[in-house]
Structure formats: C-alpha cells, structure tokens
Amino acid sequence: MRRRGVGASGTPPAKRPGEFELIDRLFAPLAAGFPGAYGLADDVAYLTLQGGLVGAGEELVLKTDALVSGVHFLPDDPADLVARKLIRVNLSDLAAKGARPLVYTLALILPATIDFAWLERFAAGLAADQAAFGVALAGGDTDSTPGPLALSLTILGAIPTGQRMLRGAAVVGDAVFVSGTIGDGALGLKAIRDELGSLAAADLAYLTQRYRLPEPRLALGQALRGLAHATMDISDGLVGDLQHICDASKVGAAIEAQRVPLSPPARAALDRDASLMASVLGGGDDYELLFTAPPAAEAALVAPRGQRGVGVTRIGTIEQGNEVRVLDAQGQPIRLAHPGYRHF
C-alpha cells in the first residue's frame, strides 16, 4: 500500500489517524499472511510465481472492481459489510473463471466524513473474509477526496493452464445455466428502500442480506472446468449479462422466464407484485454464475450440489441470432425496458 501525502484537501480530520499510522494500524496486519507485501512498508509487492503462489501448470487471472458510495452501496451501509462486498464482487469474477483466489490490492479514496471507527469496522470486515476465502492483502494506496467514498480492489487468482472459460465460447445448441436464485439482489435493494410493501420481516431481511453480502460461487466455478463453455457472473442483470455472452460469442439466446430460479422471499414479493419480474430479470447484484454448456452435461451440472454449496438450473438455450429473447409460459416474448444496468 503506497504511502502518500494527504494531498490538496489538507490535514486529515482529527478523528482519523494520519495516513501512515492508518496503514500500520489497520491494513499492515491484513498483509501478514503474504510475505511479498513486506508489511506494506515498501512501494510494491513481490509475487514469486513458480514454487510460490502459483504452481507449475497454472496461470494468473486478474480482476479489478470498484465500489462507489451511493452507486454500488448505500452511504449508511455497515462498514464491515461494505468491505466484505468489495472482496466478494471480485471473488465472484474469479469464481466465474474457475480460479482459486490468491492475493489482492486495495485503493481507498476517503472523504473527510469517514472517521477511524468506520475504518476499523471496514478493516474487520476485510479480515473476516480474508479468513473465509483464504486471501491476503498485498498492497494498495490511500488517498483523500472531496467527493464520495470510493473503493477499488484488484484480485489475483490462478487457474490450470489451458482451462480458460471465456465469454466468447458459447456455441449454438448450448444450454444456458445459472447458479442459486436470481433477483434477490435487486429486490434486496428495494427492501432497503422500503419499496416492497408489507412483505414479511424475515423475507425483507433475507433479501437485504443478499444485496449487501453476495456469495461468490468459488467451488462451483472450479467444478465447471472442462464442462462449461462461456461463463461470467451476474452483476448487471441476468438478461443484460447473457447479452454480453451473446455479443462476445456472436450468437443469440432464448430463456424461459418460468425456469428462472427464485428464492421463497423473491417468490413472495412477486406474488404480491408481478411487475417485479422486470427487476428479477434485469436488476443485477446477484453475483450468481451464468454459463453455457452442452446439453449432455446437464445431469452432471444440475443434480450434484454437495461441496459446491449451491444448486444449478437450466433456464434456456443458445441459438442463432444476436439477441437474448425472454419467453413467458406460452412462449411469447417478454419485453424489458431495462434488461441490465449500465453505468453510462
């Protein structure tokens, strides 16, 4: 974690330690599990590949994702959950590529309103998920800003050489699969905003948790090696992300809305308001896996759950064309005004 001056915004607020002390107290301990970080006392980290983090016959996978307050999480979301979501959305991309996680770097762009107590909780959230997923901090940067809190994380993983699973690998005739349940993230945001009416408290709590704390499907992703063709995770919406696969693979797809797996709380919300199906299909923030595979692999993919920890559902088929068609129970097209999230 590069130790820089505070910058144009002036002296840090009294309630927050100086930058170097902040790194030493909160973030150097998170790098203790990775010797190449040198306790965050240097300007760079060192990765020993062969005989170190990456074994013979493996290659590195790299992903960067950022979260901005008011865009990717709510300003009053708990700091520990913000930290854990930051790690998990990056882990989710590694999961979609069948990678095992290694180390990560972190950039914090902090407004003056973020005090030390918030950062302590944030660091505690990082520590919890480092332990849960076997990763360590390798370095990063801290800066100040007059704007909103912004967080960026870059994670490194490893896959066996020759087992890349790319968006552009779908072929006509493939089946389309998803993991877990879809729509919980988008409905969870609505729950936080009190937009789901009189839904049961337990259902609201479940959906809220799914939005704030996604589950990266690492075990499933690694099990897909050699079975799946095109893969990605669902961050911007099921239909929009499947369109990314279709664009990269130069194919089309048809999915059946009634096959899309729903959690009991999501089903309860839809029973009260059927129009929420648009949010289920296009809302995003699920961080489940979306992938294509030969139909012959369906039994191997759908039946086992075991150590993968999550179910798999077939929802459609890759076909000729260049767009994603969503069909209702009668086979008629469903039009979505917003099939997926776009930043700009």
**CA dihedral sign, ordered 274, 275, 277, 280:** negative
Question: Is the same domain home to 247 and 154?
Answer: no
- Answer for the pair 319, 215: CB distance below 8 angstroms, yes or no: no
The per-residue pLDDT for 71 is 87
Find the CATH number of the domain harbouring 72: 3.30.1330.10
Instruction: Tell me if 3 is assigned to some domain.
Output: no
Mark whether 194 and 210 lie in a shared domain: yes
Q: Which amino acid is at 218?
A: L
- The pLDDT, as a whole number, for residue 55 is 75
In a domain, 106, yes or no: yes
Place of tokens 């349940």: 181
Buried b / exposed e over 283-293, threshold 16 CB at 10 Å, is bbbbbbbbbbb
Q: What is the mean pLDDT of the chain?
A: 90
Round to whole Å and give the CA distance between 176 and 291.
6
340 is a domain residue: no
- Find residue 65's DSSP bridge partners: 153
Model pTM score = 0.88
pLDDT tens per residue across span 214-233: 999 999 999 999 999 999 99
Q: Residue 6: what pLDDT? A: 37
pLDDT at 54 > cutoff 90: no
**Does 181 share its domain with 299?**
yes
| Structural domain contains residue 1 | no
Reported for 3-7, long-range contacts at CB under 8 A and 24+ positions apart, including other chains, are 3/40, 3/142, 4/141, 4/142, 4/143, 6/144, 7/143, 7/144
Identify residue 137 by its one-letter amino acid code.
Answer: L
In a domain? residue 9? no
Which structure tokens are listed for 245? 């696969």
Residue 44: pLDDT band (50, 70, 90) is: confident
pLDDT at 50 over 90: no
When pLDDT is averaged across residues 8-19 and rounded to a whole number, the result is 55
Q: Which of 104, 134, 160 corresponds to the end of one domain?
A: 160
> Is the residue at 6 inside a domain?
no
Q: At 251, which CATH number?
A: 3.90.650.10
Name the range with the highest mean pLDDT among 40-44, 56-60, 136-140. 136-140
On the question of pLDDT at 344 being above 50, the answer is no
**Residue 283 and residue 156 share a domain:** no
* Residue 12 included in any domain: no
Tell me if 335 is assigned to some domain. Answer: no
Question: Which of 122, 127, 109, 129 lies closest to 77 in space, CA to CA?
Answer: 122
Average pLDDT estimate for 115-136: 96
Residue among 234, 242, 260, 230 nearest 322 (CA):
242
Please indicate, yes or no, whether residues 155 and 197 belong to a single structural domain of this protein.
no
* 101/246 same-domain check: no
Let me know whether 203 and 313 are in one domain: yes
Please check whether residues 37 and 172 belong to one and the same domain: no
pLDDT tens by residue, 286-331: 999 999 999 999 998 987 776 677 999 999 999 999 999 999 999 9
269 shares a domain with 196 = yes
My answer on whether 258 and 117 are in the same domain is: no
CA atoms within 13 A on the CB side of 55: 5
- Whether 97 and 232 map to the same domain: the answer is no
DSSP state of 167: G
Per mean pLDDT, which range of 42-51, 198-207, 218-227, 264-273 is the poorest? 42-51
For the beta sheet containing 100-110, the strands, ordered from the edge strand earlier in sequence to the opposite edge, are 58-68, 150-160, 100-110, 136-144
Q: Which domain holds residue 233?
A: 167-327
Helix (H) or strand (E) holding 64: strand 58-68
Same-domain status, 155 and 253: no
Number of domains in the chain: 2
| Contact status, residue 173 vs residue 318, Cβ threshold 8 Å | yes
Instruction: For residue 196, give the DSSP letter.
Output: S
Q: Give the pair of three-digit tokens for residue 259.
A: 């096959």
